[in-house]
């Protein structure tokens, strides 16, 4: 497998966590978002959307969209399961994951921020206020959805945690206050003690690193 990655991409971070949890080795190719490598012709041949992550398989297939990739990894290596077999719990896990991946993350994505600057001439202060509004509103919903832990949906790490930790990394990068989310912070503490989350953290993934 070859993971097209960027160390600060929260979507790619999710896939790195899942790979670590599954114990699956993958080569890694850094695609620098800041220098526009994701919209160059060579990467667009990999993923015509120009988005990260992408996972190229040994048979030539390319998978895109982080949640789809994680569910693929769950299918080929079921242990530990990231989407539980119980249909109710599975729906609860996916619900939290989608709150983050579909409702919070896209509104702070680089292409959205670039559009705010180019089309509406938004200042850095206005961009900061935009990020705080959507991150805080989304995290309030996540806080209410968290079940007795130590993780988001019970005793085991799931897709919900795989999505939450990168979003908290983003929140801290952009100085979004998190003091009002005790359940989220408790989950974060539990995840920080898990070696897979530690290994996947952007701080351990220097630019141009090849594994």
User: 56 φ, ψ to 5°?
Assistant: -90, 125
d(CA 36, CA 121): 21
What pLDDT sits at residue 4?
Answer: 98
Q: Mean pLDDT score of the chain, rounded to an integer?
A: 95
Answer yes or no: do 6 and 69 share one domain: yes
Place of tokens 């309030």: 140
Instruction: Identify the burial level of 128 via C-beta atoms within 10 angstroms of its C-beta, where 0-12 means exposed, 13-18 middle and 19 or more buried.
Output: middle
Fill in the DSSP letter of residue 82.
S
Side-chain-facing half-sphere of 76: CA atoms under 13 Å? 12
Nearest residue to 140 (alpha-carbon basis) of 128, 151, 132? 132
pLDDT > 70 in the chain, percent = 97
Answer yes or no: do 65 and 92 share one domain: no
CA distances from 33 to 38, 201, 202, 207 (A): 6, 17, 14, 11
Which pLDDT tens digit goes with each residue over 5-38?
999 999 999 999 999 999 999 999 999 998 999 9
Which pLDDT tens digit goes with each residue over 180-205?
999 999 999 999 999 999 999 999 86
177 within 8 A of 135, measured Cβ to Cβ: no
Answer yes or no: do 104 and 177 share one domain: yes
Place of tokens 């539990």: 190
Answer yes or no: do 49 and 101 share one domain: no
What pLDDT sits at residue 62?
Answer: 98
Q: In this model, does residue 122 exceed pLDDT 80?
A: yes
Q: In this model, does residue 211 exceed pLDDT 90?
A: no
Answer yes or no: do 60 and 104 share one domain: no
Answer yes or no: do 113 and 191 share one domain: yes
What pLDDT sits at residue 73?
Answer: 98
What pLDDT sits at residue 206?
Answer: 55
Answer yes or no: do 92 and 10 share one domain: no
Answer yes or no: do 68 and 109 share one domain: no
Which pLDDT tens digit goes with each residue over 141-177?
999 999 999 999 999 999 999 999 999 999 999 999 9
Q: In this model, does residue 207 exceed pLDDT 80?
A: no
d(CA 6, CA 189): 24
Residue-number span of the structural domain to which 144 is assigned: 87-197
| Segments of the chain assigned E as strands | 2-5, 27-30, 54-56, 62-64
Please identify, among 65, 80, 95, the residue that sits at the C-terminal boundary of a domain. 80
185 within 8 A of 172, measured Cβ to Cβ: no
């Amino acid at each position: 497998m070859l993971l097209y990655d960027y160390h600060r991409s929260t979507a790619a971070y999710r896939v790195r966590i899942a790979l670590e949890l599954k114990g699956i080795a993958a080569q890694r190719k850094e695609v620098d978002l800041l220098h526009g490598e994701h919209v160059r012709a060579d990467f667009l041949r990999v993923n015509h959307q120009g988005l990260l992550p992408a996972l190229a398989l040994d048979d030539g297939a390319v998978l895109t969209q982080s949640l789809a990739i994680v569910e693929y990894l769950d299918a080929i290596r079921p242990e530990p399961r990231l989407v539980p077999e119980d249909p109710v719990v599975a729906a609860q896990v996916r619900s939290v994951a989608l709150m983050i991946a579909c409702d919070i993350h896209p509104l702070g994505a680089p292409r959205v921020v670039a559009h705010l600057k180019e089309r509406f001439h938004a200042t850095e202060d206005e961009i900061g206020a935009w990020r705080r509004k959507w991150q805080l509103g989304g995290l309030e919903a996540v806080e209410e959805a968290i079940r007795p832990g130590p993780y988001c949906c019970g005793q085991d790490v799931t897709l919900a945690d795989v999505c939450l930790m990168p979003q908290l990394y983003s929140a801290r990068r952009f100085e979004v206050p998190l003091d009002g989310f005790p359940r989220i912070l408790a989950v974060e503490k539990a995840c920080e003690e898990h070696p897979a989350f530690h290994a996947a953290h952007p701080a351990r993934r220097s630019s141009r690193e090849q594994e």
